[in-house]
Amino acid sequence: MAAFEKLLSSVKVGSHTLPNRVIMPSMGSNLADGQGQVTPAMLAYYRARAAGRPGLLVVEAACVHHSGKVIDRNFMAHDDSLIEGMTELASVVKKQGSAPILQLIHGGRNAHPRLVGEPMAPSALRGPTAHSTPRAMTVIEIEAMVQAFARAAWRAMKAGFVGVEIHGAHEYLVHEFLTPYANKRQDVYGGDLERRARFAVEVVQAVRVAVGREAIISFRLSGDDHVAGGMGPAEAAATAKLLVPAGVDIISVTGGVYETPSMVVPPTPMPPGTHVEAARQVKAAVDVPVAGVGRIRNAAEAEAALNGLDMVAVGRAFLADPDWLNQAAAGRTNGVRPCIGCNQGCIDKVLYGAPVSCVSNPWVGLELQAQQLKPATNPATAVVVGGGLAGMEAARTLGQLGHKVVLFEAAEELGGQLRLACLPPGKDEFRGMIDYYRQALSEMPNVEIRLGTKATVGAVCKINPSAVVVAAGSEPILPDLPGAGDAPLVNARQVLAGEVPVGHKVAVMGGGNLGSEVAHYLATRGHDVCIIELGLGIGNDLGPARRYHLRRELGKYKVRRYIRAKVRRLFKNKVSFLHTRPDGSRQLTYVEPVDTFVSAMGAKPNEKIFLALEPKVSAIFLVGDAMSPAGMGQATSEGVRAALEIHRLAGEGALSAPPSGPSC
């Protein structure tokens, strides 16, 4: 315990004593149904997180009024009919030993007009990323919204929650009143700080009356908006001084707005503890517990963040591995699935309307299925071809369920393309996933790993497997362009692997994730780089936080970017492309001189071994890039799903069916 002495010590919040200083903060899941009701999948998801025993578990933002919905499956707390499901949810969390509080929210100007009609906000001021211009709220509407928060809080207490959290950050309604970035009113709810804080103070006061003296009231406060004209740490501290007398028991300090998404959910390669310093400034101003947050990935970083603070909010780590805190308490920090800060499965998918998932942990969203799994009673012998993400997860899942596995990997180490993904600036922590799988697989006596061994039909058939998972990855595509044969053309993977020389002036063709990152990689090493992209923007296949951060980095290193640009021809030292301007006019453009052309224009599946084995094996699965080049999340998800299907077939005795052609 000495290593995490403060983290694992108790703390008093209001009238409650919590067993440790960890908060699992609110994270949207999109697991509610279309009416905002609790679902079985949502219960299973929170049961798994609560079993990790955070001292305080903040259930995702529940909307207090129908006019505040941000996403289609927003969790809701605006009607008494929702209490029954909320009661089940609070009970599930309590039974696992965590204290549940419910976050309350209204989307303000970021409520979606498709869901709510005309959004409401303090001022008729459209945010840079909002869907439409909101209507300025009247005083009567403001007073009614105060009561909407109070009634939602009452429902939470009726359902058995130990308290509520008022979301006063991230450019939602309460924060929009607090920050001069969004509040331009000149009445009693706008102007100086005290008037801008009036709505938040009235909400807290009304909620306190509704929940009683024993309930915890937390306030999620923006410590720094990180945008011109927004709140900074000094104003956050002054605001906290107004909130505590109104009835707040704990302040959880975060930061960022929709315009600065990399500060709201900080991605790789941002450092841990993004908002901890702002939280310390708030703590200096108040005498209630204050929590810090911001890309805190493990127990060691959580312990360090507690210097000068009372609690620490750790979110995405509970997605990657719900058991990380229990493992830390037991003195076992190795073998924990790492959060790599990619944002692909959590915030990105939720913003796009899909249920929450996790690249590092494909079991997020499969909790119901996981609870029903039993070890194999009729173990299969399975071959996995490829030791990248999809193959490693397929082998790990099969091994954990008791099946015998032989994994072929042509390279001398596991990881596949993930080894290259670790190389762009700030992404070295991606290697943590390789380390996790290497350790997990090495601890399974029923899993054999054959490194430096290419899978052949003969080698696979010699094992006589019951099932085969082909996770052989993909191969980069070189563009078939006039002049390509005579130009110094290489692919992005070769550049990252250090397999080819690269000249000083570089043209990267393709501005998606791979092209943008290899351009960043080269620019940080002193190369003069440009990106030529056919689409409408750079990094458009990335989520908002990572895209925002990467574009800023490309600007910092003066990487020139051409969009709406179709490459026509490569020369030995220049490139021509058809450039379409925003007004629709077109121009043939040349970039010269160019010493090296780097292709990041896609990949093709490596499916040869699958096609050769398909007639010979009764149960064969194609996963990851070997099926179709896609993202890391698809790789781990498809790996686990293939393994679960093999487990099902083995349990039913269905793996003995003969193949369609001559068998192995």
SS (H, E, C) 409-444: ECCCCCCCCHHHHCCCCCCHHHHHHHHHHHHHHHCC
What gap in Å lies between CA 418 and CA 53, rounded to an integer?
A: 31
Which residues contact residue 474 at a Cβ distance below 8 angstroms, ignoring those fewer than 6 apart?
417, 603, 604, 605, 606, 625, 626, 629
Catalogue the long-range contacts made by 439-444 (C-beta closer than 8 Å, 24 or more residues apart).
Answer: 439/334, 439/335, 440/335, 440/396, 441/392, 441/395, 441/396, 441/399, 441/407, 441/414, 443/335, 444/396, 444/399, 444/400, 444/405
Tally of helices (H runs) and strands (E runs) in the chain? 24, 28
453 — alpha (psi -120 to 50), left (phi > 0) or beta?
Answer: beta
Burial of 591 (0-12, 13-18, 19+ CB in 10 A): middle
What gap in Å lies between CA 488 and CA 367, rounded to an integer?
A: 50
Residue type, 192: D
237 — alpha (psi -120 to 50), left (phi > 0) or beta?
Answer: alpha
How many CA atoms within 13 Å lie on the side-chain side of 292? Answer: 29
What gap in Å lies between CA 557 and CA 165, rounded to an integer?
A: 41
What gap in Å lies between CA 206 and CA 200, rounded to an integer?
A: 10
Helix (H, G, I), strand (E, B) or coil at 319: helix
What gap in Å lies between CA 390 and CA 610, rounded to an integer?
A: 15
What gap in Å lies between CA 479 and CA 71, rounded to an integer?
A: 40
| Catalytic residue list contains 46 | no
**SS3 breakdown of the chain: % helix, strand, coil, rounded to 5?**
35, 20, 45
Closest CA to 203 of 162, 157, 142: 142
What gap in Å lies between CA 626 and CA 471, rounded to an integer?
A: 6
Catalytic residue among 45, 46, 172, 521: 172
Active-site residues, by number, are: 172
